[in-house]
Amino acid sequence: MTIRSRFASKYTRFVLVVALALSLTGLQPSQAQQFKTTADMDAALARISADSLRGNLSFIASDALEGRNTPSRGLDIAAEYIAAQFRRAGLEPVGDDGYFQTANWFVTDRDADSFDMRFEDGDHAVNVAPNQVTITTSDAAMKLSRAQLFKVDLNDSSSVAALTADQIQGKVILTALPDIQSADRSRRQELMRGQNDFLSTMSSLKAAMIISIDRTSPTGGGIGTNRLIDPENRQGGGRPGNNAPSLLTITVHNPKVVQLFDSMKTGSSNATMTLDLPASYERPVKIRNVIGVLRGSDPVLKDTYVLVTAHYDHLGMRPFGEGDRIYNGANDDGSGTVSVMELASALSTLKQRPKRSIVFMTVFGEEKGLRGSRYYGRHPIFPIEKTVADVNLEQVGRTDSTEGPQINNASMTGFDFTDVGTIFQEAGKMTGINVYKHDRNSDAYFGRSDNQALADQGVPAHTICVAFDYPDYHGVGDHWDKVDCANMAKVDRMVGLGLLMIANNPIAPKWNTANPKTERYVKAWNDHHESK
């Protein structure tokens, strides 16, 4: 049965359903406009294919892209691939470089040739290479000459609690911090709290630094902290060393250092460490949002825009450990990324373009704090006051939620913050998808994906999600073959219909002013529109 024929049987109740929902949310009934699909729309949405989604996802989330960290070679390859799919769909490129909106940022690095680390115990000396360490905490320089090592066993909590400044001050603490990322997810918060408490204690006792040994890998992440720096928002200066924490922590991946650790007794020792760690410097990098537009057909409304977005980055690679080290990010958010590409491919086949323009965008750096979407918010290619909605897609592929199977279900964050939720709920009824407000997560997760950056600018913006939590979330097991592409295709057809409902409606979505949680967004919307 086509979308059109299903819609015909339900169309007469559309206005009543939406008007009732809007009356309950404080939104104006004028937002509920009668909408009919056409054979052209039905044909376009029918092009959304599970096989096409699966094919694209198997590349975007492949090991070859090494987890798409921001910045990384894998992220750059993903950007090129997305741009190629936009080009194939015939979208108009609107960036500063074809489909790319380029952020000229920096990442911290260090001069490996100036690095020196050496452990000595009697006649035995161990030299550590730059690729045998992982530094994640400091951009500052550090020089130590034969600093005394003090071994701490983290498993002996009573001995740790009894340590004093007389024992610790000025010494290098040699220990084995837990590998939190590879631990069972249920234990990660507990392990993180314990590690933070330990580091805070060592800092208060004035330890010189922390050395943690790793038993699983002979190589690490290197001497650079790889901290991403936005020159417009340096967060405390961003220059090397300016925001360094008080206690430098280095993980050492060297079997001979592990042997030294095992041979030492707990407490003070005669073993020493010499260190020459250069300060970080800033290396320029180019990071890109990928953007294309399907221009609208209405002489006036074509200059207004509906955004459909997803982040195409993920966590990269675990710097050390055995087995699988790649965070493939198939569901988070390879699923949203390929959905944006698939929607672009399908809707670009429309013979009659929608009245408003639809913008297809994938953004970088969501995992580092919504960096790409916030960059777009500060540098919008399309005027914010002309942007009527953002529909962000996040984790729309996995149906094996920890709350139970999520077949033909999709939740929208901030569901009743605007009338977008009601529009998509009706689109769901027409396509067999239950679009609903999650009692616990709808509002709580509103600020946890890229819709937040657009909402902060006053744009009615939401994220559609199928499974908020699922096995392998932020784990190395989030592989493409665990994604339910058939269900994702159904969800994408619902999204496509919802986009067309907004894009063909002369009345733009509005914030729900009766909901006190929208106050800041209503103010931002008013500020943008009153200033123009």
Three-class secondary structure assignment of 482-497: HCCHHHHHHHHHHHHH
Rounded CA-CA distance 142/278 in Å is 7
Distance CA 301, CA 298 (A): 5
DSSP characters over 192-224: HHHHHHHHHHHHHTT-SEEEEE-SS-S--SBS-
Tens digit of pLDDT at every position of the chain (532 positions): 444 444 444 433 443 344 434 443 444 443 445 788 999 999 999 999 999 999 999 999 999 999 999 999 999 999 999 999 999 999 999 999 999 999 999 999 999 999 999 999 988 999 999 999 999 878 899 999 999 999 999 989 899 999 999 999 999 999 999 988 777 778 888 989 999 999 999 999 999 999 999 998 888 889 988 899 999 988 633 333 333 346 899 999 999 999 999 999 999 999 999 999 999 999 999 999 999 999 999 999 999 999 999 999 999 998 877 789 999 999 999 999 999 999 999 999 999 999 999 999 999 999 999 999 999 999 999 999 999 999 999 999 999 999 999 999 999 999 999 999 999 999 999 999 999 999 999 999 999 999 999 999 999 999 999 999 999 999 999 999 999 999 999 999 999 999 999 999 999 999 999 999 999 999 999 998 886 6
Give yes or no for a cis peptide into 231 (omega within 30° of 0): no
Q: Kindly report the number of other CB atoms within 10 A of residue 130's CB atom.
A: 19
Pairing type for strands 387-393 and 461-465 reads: parallel
DSSP string, 334-395: IHHHHHHHHHHHHHTT-SS--SSEEEEEEES-GGGTSHHHHHHHHS-SS-GGGEEEEEEE-S
Q: Of 237, 261, 265, whose CA–CA distance to 251 is shortest?
A: 261
Domains (range + CATH), the chain: 3-105+286-530 (3.40.630.10), 111-279 (3.50.30.30)
For residue 421, CA distances in Å to 177, 209, 373, 390, 510 come to 45, 51, 21, 12, 11
Q: What's the alpha-carbon Rg for the chain, to the nearest Å?
A: 26
Q: What's the token pair of residue 92?
A: 């108009």
pLDDT of residue 322: 74
| pLDDT at site 402 | 96
CA distances from 153 to 45, 106, 200, 261 (A): 60, 38, 16, 10
Buried b or exposed e, range 279-301, using 16+ CB within 10 angstroms: bbebeebebbbbbbbbbbbbeeb
Query: What pLDDT is recorded for position 25?
Result: 42
Pairing of strands 404-405, 400-401: antiparallel
Q: Is 145 helix (H, G, I), strand (E, B) or coil?
A: strand
User: Exposed, middle or buried: residue 123 (CB in 10 Å: 0-12, 13-18, 19+)?
Assistant: exposed
Give the C-alpha distances (Å, rounded to integers) separating 147 from 113, 251, 268.
22, 17, 12
d(CA 290, CA 153): 48
Spell out a b/e string for 434-456, using b for 16 or more CB atoms within 10 Å of the CB, else e. Answer: ebeebeebbbebbebbbbbbbbb
Residue-level pLDDT at 35:
82
Nearest to 209, CA basis, from 140, 159, 282: 140
How far is CA 344 from its chain centroid? 21
pTM for this one?
0.88
Pairing of strands 357-363, 100-109: unpaired
296: helix, coil or strand? coil
